[in-house]
Amino acid sequence: MSVLVDRFSRRIDYLRLSVTDRCNLRCVYCMPPEGVPHLDHAEILTYEEIIRFLRVAVRAGIGKVRLTGGEPLVRRDVERLVEGIAALRPRLDISLTTNGTLLASVAERLAAAGLKRVNVSIDSLHPETYRRLTRGGDLSSALEGVEAALEAGLEPVKINVVTLKHLNDEVDGFLDLVYRLPVHVRFIEYMSPCGAVDSSYFVSNQELRAVLLRRGAVEEDRPPVGGGPARYYRLPGSRGTVGFISPVSSHFCPQCNRLRLTAEGRMRPCLFSSEEVDVRKILRGGGDDRETEEAIYRAILAALEKKPRDHGGLASFSKMNMSRIGG
């Protein structure tokens, strides 16, 4: 397998892959109340096109892929895509980010298909707050998804919490959760300008860590499988850990190892960048297998060349819908 290295000597081996722009929730930090315009089905990459792209990406040096959306589980038969990815060689480490509300019914099938682990986005453990933040979501469905993932062996299970001041800065409930379940709660600083809340809702992770420290002696812990940019801590006697992802107050660009493929087949070198490389055009260009694979490889290198040294702050954040990017 080759090795992908960008202009700043970072090894790039991780692809975040949006399989759909659709979602069954309308989270306040992600989209407006009316939702966003959907792509036409013909604009979204087929599973076969995704596998064809990944076949080249794996040989180029990608070793990890995370399926995202939108909400990836709203796309029909997504376990079929997982099975196709699992068959690629060299083997890919396959994970998935979901809101969890549809996970209970498919967790076992996903695990059997080759999925290794899941991240579940749950921004409140209070049913009414959760319903308000997601504009109608059912907290019990998301928690059932977490339980089903644990039972299916999709571990580690990580719980992603985007914290918004005055809306869900409820740290204590999540700290109690890591005593009850072997999960890894990660508090993520709010950074998206795409939804209905502004920067006045920002809460830094330094504030949240102060709440953690008031709970007593804590020690920094090794990251669970899957790594990532979070710093993890363990409370005495807890079954899981608490992590903090700080893209605003302490960005992790120097360690960034990822590229992104949007639902409509555009490679993005950075979440905050509007730079893109069109892969769908190559996949549907009608060339023979060798020509197409060579063009895909060149597209991967072109995206790598566009990867910036750092994200440049929120002012540079693209207004493109997060549900298409795969955040």
Write the pLDDT tens digit of every residue in 205-243: 888 888 888 877 789 999 998 867 889 999 999 999 999
Is a pLDDT exceeding 50 seen at residue 279? yes
Average pLDDT across the chain, whole number: 91
Share of the chain above pLDDT 70, in %: 92
Mean pLDDT of 291-317: 85
Q: Does residue 318 surpass a pLDDT of 80?
A: no
pLDDT reading at 147 higher than 90: yes
Neighbours of 151 (CB within 10 A): 12
CA 305/CA 151 separation, integer angstroms: 42
Q: What is the DSSP string of 20-64?
A: -S--S---TTTS-TT--PPPPGGGSPPHHHHHHHHHHHHHHT--E
Q: Is the pLDDT of residue 151 over 50?
A: yes
Which pairing describes strands 157-163 and 117-121: parallel, antiparallel, or unpaired?
A: parallel
Helices (H), 155-288: 171-180, 205-213, 280-283
**Which amino acid is residue 249, in one-letter code?**
S
On the question of pLDDT at 191 being above 80, the answer is: no
Amino acid at 188: I
| Range scoring the smallest mean pLDDT among 93-97, 184-188, 249-253, 301-305 | 249-253
Greatest alpha-carbon span in the chain = 62
Phi, psi of 315 (to 5 degrees): -65, -25
150-154: average pLDDT: 98
> Does 5 score more than 80 pLDDT?
yes
**Cα dist. 55→91, 210, 285 in Å?**
10, 45, 17
Q: Are 310 and 253 in contact (CB under 8 A)?
A: yes
Distances (CA, A) of 103 to 39, 143, 150: 24, 9, 11
Indicate the pLDDT class of residue 316, thresholds 50, 70 and 90.
very low
Res. 322: pLDDT tops 70: no
The pLDDT value recorded for residue 312 is 58
197: pLDDT confidence band, cut at 50, 70 and 90?
A: low
Averaged pLDDT, 247-274: 88
pLDDT at 127 over 90: yes
Q: What pairing do the DSSP bridges indicate for beta strands 241-245 and 231-234?
A: antiparallel
What superfamily in CATH does domain 14-325 come from?
Aldolase class I (3.20.20.70)
pTM of the predicted structure, to 2 decimals: 0.93
pLDDT value, residue 35: 80
Among 161-165, 193-197, 292-296, the least confident range? 193-197
Q: Does position 297 have pLDDT exceeding 90, yes or no? A: yes
